[in-house]
């Protein structure tokens, strides 16, 4: 059972296969330090795409040696994103990572109909949180990509997160669709979607998981809170996956945990033909490294 990033990293290091990733606009020290660590640990080799001079100058500062032919020169962020994605779509790399550019610039390249990584599935962001006070990794979705998903999009968001949980070795993940309360309240539309997701789980319309909702966040993760409220549920208190109702709830929740509760995080976009490793530009190199590790785990699970 993988309960924290330390265990996940040890497991990934046991694998003989060194993955390949492309990185769009890797200009900041934290991204290049994460790339360096991934190289030293034999986890991934990288192809760096962006302004060559800028990459080389920061790489020198962090002590990263770049092998010949591993930089592709592109003058602006949009072309760097497109080229990094194209290399993955052509099979030159297993997944793509975001450097110092906007999330939407990279996602637009991924969604490009000609050279992107689109499938028929909705793309969504899945975060994995290592929270010191919790005895397991917590998967959370979607705090970064889909802005205000409707029910059918929430179904696909849930399926994408189940895929990540399974890649982490959780055979039948427990999914909590969270709201402000655990009772269905017609005045709170989020509770209706959460209840419908739970029913779709019961009926096998969403497979390979136990789903319950609506659940307030405390009832989803804390057995004490569940018991105080007297909630009968196989998911409450033990959720592996938190499905948030919209980008604002998810984004504030994971940033609160990372900035106030010493939580470390990894994140990737799922639903494309390959993982798209996304971390916030303000993330430190450890979190970016964790995201690379997650990208590799998911890419291997995919193939
Ligand atoms: N999955 C699959 N296809 C999609 C998705 C998706 N999640 N989103 C859009 N598409 C397809 C559409 O069907 C359409 O064919 C094409 O892509 C363009 O659709 P638009 O015009 O709605 O999309 P864009 O390009 O304007 O925006 C897509 C983004 C993902 C960039 C947008 O949703 C976005 O900006 N999300 C928020 C990202 C962000 O700022 N996060 C901040 C937190 S770090």
pLDDT digits (tens, 9 = 90+) for 169-211: 999 999 999 999 999 999 999 999 999 999 999 999 999 999 9
Q: How far is CA 67 from CA 46, 59, 180, in A?
A: 9, 12, 51
Instruction: Confirm if 70 and 59 have CB atoms less than 8 A apart.
Output: no
pLDDT in tens, 214-238: 999 999 999 999 999 999 999 999 9
Q: Same structural domain for residues 218 and 255?
A: yes
- Our count of domains for the chain comes to 2
What pLDDT, on the 0 to 100 scale, is given for residue 107? 93
Q: Same structural domain for residues 147 and 230?
A: yes
Q: Whose CA is nearest to atom 41 of ligand 1?
A: 144
Q: Same structural domain for residues 18 and 65?
A: yes
Q: Which domain holds residue 113?
A: 5-119+272-302
Q: Same structural domain for residues 75 and 139?
A: no
Q: Whose CA is nearest to atom 15 of ligand 1?
A: 111
Secondary structure letter of residue 250 according to DSSP: H
To the question of pTM greater than 0.75 for the whole model, the response is yes
Q: How far is the CA of 231 from the centre of ligand 1 (A)?
A: 37
Q: Does 145 sit in the ligand 1 pocket, CB within 6 Å?
A: yes
Q: Same structural domain for residues 141 and 79?
A: no
CATH of the domain at 218: 3.40.718.10
Q: How far is the CA of 270 from the centre of ligand 1 (A)?
A: 13
Q: Same structural domain for residues 21 and 112?
A: yes
Q: Same structural domain for residues 111 and 135?
A: no
pLDDT in tens, 101-140: 998 899 999 999 888 999 999 999 999 999 999 999 999 9
Residue 265 forms part of a structural domain: no
Q: Does 107 sit in the ligand 1 pocket, CB within 6 Å?
A: yes
Q: Same structural domain for residues 143 and 44?
A: no
Q: Does 111 sit in the ligand 1 pocket, CB within 6 Å?
A: yes
Q: How far is the CA of 123 from the centre of ligand 1 (A)?
A: 9
Half-sphere exposure of 167 (CA within 13 A, CB side): 24
Q: Does 147 sit in the ligand 1 pocket, CB within 6 Å?
A: yes
Q: How far is the CA of 100 from the centre of ligand 1 (A)?
A: 19
pLDDT at 303 over 80: no
């Amino acid at each position: 059972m993988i309960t924290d990033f330390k265990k996940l990293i040890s497991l990934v290091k046991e694998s003989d296969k060194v993955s390949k990733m492309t990185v769009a606009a890797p200009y900041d020290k934290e991204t290049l330090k994460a790339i360096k660590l991934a190289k030293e640990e034999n986890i991934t080799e990288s192809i760096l795409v962006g302004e060559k001079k800028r990459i080389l100058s920061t790489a020198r500062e962090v002590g990263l040696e770049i092998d010949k032919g591993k930089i592709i020169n592109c003058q602006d962020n949009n072309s760097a994103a497109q080229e990094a994605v194209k290399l993955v779509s052509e099979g030159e790399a297993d997944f793509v990572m975001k450097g110092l550019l906007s999330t939407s610039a990279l996602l637009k390249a991924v969604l490009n109909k000609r050279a992107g990584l689109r499938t028929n599935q909705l793309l969504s962001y899945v975060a994995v949180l290592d929270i010191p006070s919790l005895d397991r990794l917590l998967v959370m979705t979607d705090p970064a990509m889909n802005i205000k998903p409707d029910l059918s999009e929430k179904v696909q968001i849930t399926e994408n997160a189940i895929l990540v949980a399974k890649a982490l070795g959780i055979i039948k993940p427990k999914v909590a669709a969270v709201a402000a309360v655990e009772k269905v309240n017609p005045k709170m539309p989020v509770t209706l979607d959460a209840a419908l997701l739970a029913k779709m789980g019961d009926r096998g319309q969403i497979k390979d998981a136990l789903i319950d909702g609506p659940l307030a966040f405390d009832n989803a993760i804390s057995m004490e809170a569940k018991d105080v409220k007297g909630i009968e549920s196989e998911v409450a208190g033990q959720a592996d996956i938190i499905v948030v109702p919209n980008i604002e709830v998810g984004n504030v929740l994971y940033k609160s945990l990372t900035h106030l509760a010493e939580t470390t995080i990894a994140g990737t976009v799922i639903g494309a033909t390959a993982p798209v490793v996304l971390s916030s530009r303000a993330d430190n190199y450890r979190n970016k490294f964790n995201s690379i590790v997650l990208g590799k785990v998911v890419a291997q699970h995919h193939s």
